[in-house]
Amino acid sequence: MAEVEEQGRKLSEESTDESEEEDTEEEPKLKYERLTNGVTEVLQKDAASCMTVHDKFLALGTYFGKVYLLDIQGNVTQKFEISSVKINQISLDESGEHVGICSEDGKVQVFGLYTREGFHENFDCPIKVVALHPQFSKSNNKQFVTGGNKLLLYERNWLNRWKTSVLHEGEGNITSVKWRANLIAWANNVGVKIYDISSKQRITNVLRDNTSLRPDMYPCSLCWKDNATLIIGWGSSVKICVVKERDPTEMRDLPSRYVEIVSAFETEFFISGLAPLADQLVTLYYVKENSEHMEEEFRTRPRLDIIQPLAEGCEEISSDALTVRNFQENQCRDYRLEHSEGESLFYIISPKDIVVAKERDQDDHIDWLLEKKKYEEALMAAEISFKNIKRHDVQKIGMAYINHLVERGDYDAAARKCQKVLGKNMDLWENEVYRFKTIGQLKAISQYLPRGDLRLRPAIYEMILHEFLKTDYEGFATLIREWPGELYNNMAIVQAVNEHLKKDPTNSILLTTLAELYTYDQRYDRALEIYLKLRHKDVYQLIHKHNLFPSIKDKIVLLMDFDKEKAVDMLLDNEDKISMDKVVEELKDRPELLHVYLHKLFKRDHHKGQKYHERQISLYAEFDRPNLLPFLRESMHCPLEKALEICQQRHFVEETVFLLSRMGNCRRALQMIMEELADVDKAIEFAKEQDDRELWEDLISYSIDKPPFITGLLNNIGTHVDPILLIHRIKEGMEIPNLRDSLVKILQDYNLQILLREGCKKILVADSLSLLQRMHRTQKRGVRVDENICESCHTPVLPSDTAQAFGVVVFHCRHMVHKECLPSPGNVPGIQYCNICSAKRRGPGSGILEMKK
């Protein structure tokens, strides 16, 4: 078998361009092995002439007239002495219970392997082919055909006698026959015919292409792919034919079926056998010595190719040259290709050798990948097929891959694969760690070591940490951050770090790492000291995580020097642990820090730090003037006199103006705006806010001799003060910038006011009319009355004699009175009110008084 596979590899290598690298070689599609055991002994004394394949067993015919039944391993299970000359063909039915045999001396035998029934006949000419009905074991399908110089059909009738029919003759010897379902296909010297046993009609005649080849030397190969597809191989020609049902409207005198050739193409070599493989073909080629397509040493080896048929050609998928025994002596007719439909098994039969080809499975695929050193792909394939894997240990494949990577110098990739390959095997892990130490590559494997529930011995991790500590401080710090502290002896590593710090006491990387080690060891005070010394960003996280607030009461200034914002947020968020008074006390000598703290406190709550608002005035004035005025506006606890004093001392005009106005001295505030700020817009805005006529008078008086101020007033005063008051006071002849534009704006503002008034008037009139109409409609409605007594005289409102004229008044309050009982209308002529309801609104006795009137 190794010899066969080696020849296949050589062919593949020879057919590849010399310039291509080895890793471009395509993987074979098939694998081969010789059929041995009993077959070997048989072929040493005899030679194979034919063979047929069943899913359960094999039937081998020899040149000495014997038939052997073999198991699939090649062991002989049964032997039949049929003739003294060559067995030409053996046929089995689908059940494997009946066999048909024909020989060169004209003998034909059909018998049951497990019954006594049989047919024996001797003909006066060689019988080349025999084929049983696929369902021969069934009583109504006792049929078979034989072929010599004519094709005969044998059928057993109801009297248990065999009836013979000639299906075809006159075109030379029958060289091949294949029976599938109701279709019989056979080949003679002229071509291939197909006979429909159900309709008893011959439905096609496919002529052979190359008539120059002798049919006995280059016999036709027939193969049914399914019940309707016949594959024909003859010489170097291949045709794929499909049997189809004819449209009933087109039949007339034609057969009910017809054949369509769906693919036809020429091959490079002569065909000795065909077999289907899914939608592809397996072809056995005979290669003549004088072929120019192969190198000298391969010229007569048979080839087994897989090809993909196309409409007008084919595509070669794979090709293997097979070194069968005595191949130098064989002709095209000496080779046969048989296949098992149950499995993808292909049998290459030659007189002295039988080779079995089968599709390569996942194990074969992995073997090939390993052979080509494609370890990554082999490992992936092994993992995918782990449940079905037969020969491979995934871990062994992985170790081979790791060794290959190490030999190549790709240490990081090798270490990364350890994680996947070594898995939970701690012994293998330790071995690999020591191997990486030996080659000086501990750093490469460090980041992939187990660190979960499964762990190595602490000494392994400590060895790696010591290695990093000697050569790579940053790498050492990374491992300390990433590895759980329980992987190693923490105190031993702390001691080692301290030894290194004696040589380099200011090394920030080592100090930070030492703080992390102290943190894991719950010595938080030591860690906090280091973090504060380094001003490390993790100091706040450390304080929060381990509640170290009692330890930082005397370190508030250090924390704020490091990061004011984070420190203040932390202090304010934890007032229950560090009081506001304690923080103020600690920061009393650092007013700039105290201001930051109190400012944030005030932003969070305007009332919480009210006792410090007086101090905050000075702090804002000193360190944060932009926020002083907002503070004065928002604080309700700020002493105004103190604030005014500070602002006046520092000449803060805007703040002073605000304080003066808040204290009620608006005229002085306006004066400061006009005199010190000289900002007419701000003065006008201030006057608008206060809405005080005297302030407007002061503003006009101050501005009357200042043309720019007059312009500002003219532009803004129109909606608050009558502009005529200002215009009358302007001195004649005074030049005022943009006077025309200002006057135009005044007129526009006036027109706008007029328009607004007219619009409001129209809306008011429309609304009044709408309401009046609604009231009129309401008053015109009928009023439901529950009682019929006059509210004035307390007698029925309706007279006993309805024919008599009467008058009744009903108020909207549903009180009724006789018309003659109505009191005088009062002050408004024509308007009468309900006396009872009016009395209720005016108080006791009012109704009576009105009645007296």
Which pLDDT belongs to residue 222?
95
SS3 427: helix
Instruction: Look at residue 233 and tell me if it is in a domain.
Output: no
User: Please, which pLDDT band fits residue 853 given cuts at 50, 70 and 90?
Assistant: very low
Cα–Cα distance for residue pair 92/104, rounded to 1 Å: 19
Cα–Cα distance for residue pair 147/139, rounded to 1 Å: 23
Q: Which residues pair with 186 in a beta bridge?
A: 177, 193
168 to 202, 458, 494: CA distances (angstroms): 9, 89, 101
Whether 807 and 747 share a structural domain: no
**Element (DSSP H or E) covering residue 192:** strand 191-196
- Mean pLDDT on 719-743: 62
Token pair listed for 432: 């690999």
pLDDT greater than 90 at residue 681: no
3-state SS track over 781-795: CCCCCCCCECCCCCC
Burial class (CB in 10 A: 0-12, 13-18, 19+), 142: buried
Which pLDDT belongs to residue 1?
41
Which pLDDT belongs to residue 402?
79
pTM greater than the 0.75 cutoff? no
CA 766 from chain center: how many Å? 67
Instruction: Look at residue 396 and tell me if it is in a domain.
Output: yes
The residue among 749, 777, 805 that closes a domain is 777
Which pLDDT belongs to residue 636?
84
pLDDT greater than 50 at residue 848: no
Compare 283 and 508 and report the one with higher pLDDT.
Answer: 283
Least confident residue range of 27-31, 287-291, 448-452 = 287-291
Compare 398 and 16 and report the one with higher pLDDT.
Answer: 398
Residue 456 · residue 448 · CB < 8 Å: no
Residue type, 527: A
Whether 770 and 790 share a structural domain: no
Cα–Cα distance for residue pair 54/70, rounded to 1 Å: 10
Q: pLDDT digits over 495-548, tens only?
A: 888 888 888 888 888 888 888 888 787 787 787 777 777 777 777 777 777 777
Integer distance in angstroms from the first to the last C-alpha of the chain?
143
Cα–Cα distance for residue pair 770/505, rounded to 1 Å: 93
pLDDT greater than 60 at residue 3: no
Residues 6+ apart with CB under 8 A from 851: 823, 835
Average pLDDT over the chain reads: 81
Whether 803 and 725 share a structural domain: no
Which pLDDT belongs to residue 707?
65
Residue 124 · residue 106 · CB < 8 Å: yes
pLDDT greater than 70 at residue 553: yes
Least confident residue range of 438-442, 684-688, 705-709 = 705-709
Whether 668 and 757 share a structural domain: yes
Q: pLDDT digits over 91-147, tens only?
A: 999 999 999 999 999 999 999 998 877 899 999 899 999 999 999 988 888 999 999
Whether 747 and 791 share a structural domain: no
Token pair listed for 774: 């609604």
**C-beta atoms surrounding 743 within 10 Å:** 14
Whether 757 and 669 share a structural domain: yes
Residue type, 91: S
Whether 440 and 382 share a structural domain: yes
pLDDT greater than 80 at residue 594: yes
Q: Which residues pair with 81 in a beta bridge?
A: 66
**Domain count along the chain:** 3
Whether 670 and 771 share a structural domain: yes
Question: Alpha-carbon torsion 681, 686, 691, 693, what sign?
Answer: negative
pLDDT greater than 80 at residue 714: no
User: Please, which pLDDT band fits residue 19 given cuts at 50, 70 and 90?
Assistant: very low
Cα–Cα distance for residue pair 147/170, rounded to 1 Å: 12
pLDDT greater than 70 at residue 290: no
**C-beta atoms surrounding 254 within 10 Å:** 11
Residue type, 504: D
Least confident residue range of 83-97, 495-509, 705-719 = 705-719
pLDDT greater than 50 at residue 562: yes
Token pair listed for 15: 């057919």
Comparing CA positions, the residue from 518, 453, 457 lying closest to residue 490 is 518
- Mean pLDDT on 303-323: 90
Q: Which residues pair with 152 in a beta bridge?
A: 146, 166
Residue 174 · residue 187 · CB < 8 Å: yes
Which pLDDT belongs to residue 5?
45
Whether 669 and 748 share a structural domain: yes
Q: What is the CATH number of the domain that holds 424?
A: 1.25.40
Comparing CA positions, the residue from 145, 231, 147 lying closest to residue 189 is 147
Report the share of the chain in percent with pLDDT over 70.
Answer: 83
Instruction: Look at residue 61 and tell me if it is in a domain.
Output: no
Whether 669 and 773 share a structural domain: yes
Q: Which residues pair with 392 in a beta bridge?
A: none
Compare 542 and 739 and report the one with higher pLDDT.
Answer: 542
Q: What is the DSSP string of 736-755?
A: -TTHHHHHHHHHHHHHHHHH
Least confident residue range of 197-206, 240-249, 618-627, 731-740 = 731-740
Instruction: Look at residue 739 and tell me if it is in a domain.
Output: yes
What's the domain range around 738? 664-777
Whether 712 and 811 share a structural domain: no
Comparing CA positions, the residue from 520, 522, 541, 518 lying closest to residue 530 is 518
Instruction: Look at residue 131 and tell me if it is in a domain.
Output: no
User: Please, which pLDDT band fits residue 706 given cuts at 50, 70 and 90?
Assistant: low
Report the share of the chain in percent with pLDDT over 90.
Answer: 28
pLDDT greater than 70 at residue 743: no
Instruction: Look at residue 818 and tell me if it is in a domain.
Output: yes
Instruction: Look at residue 290 and tell me if it is in a domain.
Output: no
Helices (H), 456-579: 458-471, 473-482, 490-503, 508-520, 524-534, 539-546, 556-562, 564-573
Cα–Cα distance for residue pair 418/414, rounded to 1 Å: 6
SS3 73: coil
Q: Which residues pair with 243 in a beta bridge?
A: 259
The residue among 409, 426, 450 that closes a domain is 450
Whether 750 and 689 share a structural domain: yes
Which pLDDT belongs to residue 147?
94
Rg (CA), the chain: 58
Q: Which of 351-365, 668-682, 836-850 has the highest mean pLDDT?
A: 351-365
Which pLDDT belongs to residue 851?
35
Residues 6+ apart with CB under 8 A from 237: 208, 209, 210, 264, 265, 266, 267, 271
Instruction: Look at residue 404 and tell me if it is in a domain.
Output: yes
Comparing CA positions, the residue from 324, 236, 238, 215 lying closest to residue 288 is 236
User: Please, which pLDDT band fits residue 221 given cuts at 50, 70 and 90?
Assistant: very high
pLDDT greater than 60 at residue 331: yes
The residue among 709, 744, 777 that closes a domain is 777
pLDDT greater than 50 at residue 590: yes
Q: pLDDT digits over 167-190, tens only?
A: 999 998 999 999 999 999 999 999
User: Please, which pLDDT band fits residue 193 given cuts at 50, 70 and 90?
Assistant: very high
